[in-house]
């Protein structure tokens, strides 16, 4: 990745859901944080491994969160978004 390329961080996490048809965790303190990855390919590989390890548990799901989409540093934020402002 060159200095001109933006970093595209991805978070892989999962855990037991209340119901397999919704994305509400039974206990957020028990969410499994697999890790943060520098690109989608490595995040997908980690997600696939975690998801495969729980394939027999219908209530456990893993997700990929696109952290790079959460915030655009070029856009000014509101005072409530930055602590202390």
Helices (H), the chain: 40-53
Topology of the domain covering 1-18+27-85 = Alpha-Beta Plaits (3.30.70)
On the question of pLDDT at 25 being above 50, the answer is yes
| Residue 8: pLDDT band with limits 50, 70, 90 | confident
The per-residue pLDDT for range 27-78, each reduced to its tens digit, is: 999 999 999 999 999 999 999 999 999 989 999 999 999 987 776 666 665 5
CA separation for the pair 28, 48 (Å, rounded): 21
């Amino acid at each position: 990745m060159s200095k001109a390329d933006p970093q595209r961080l991805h978070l892989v996490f999962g855990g037991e859901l209340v119901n397999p048809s919704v994305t509400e965790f039974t206990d957020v303190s028990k969410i499994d944080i697999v890790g943060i990855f520098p690109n989608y390919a490595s995040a997908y590989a980690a997600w696939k491994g975690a998801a495969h390890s729980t394939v027999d548990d219908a209530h456990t799901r893993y997700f990929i969160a696109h952290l790079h989409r959460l915030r655009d540093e070029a856009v000014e934020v509101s005072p409530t978004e930055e602590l202390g402002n």
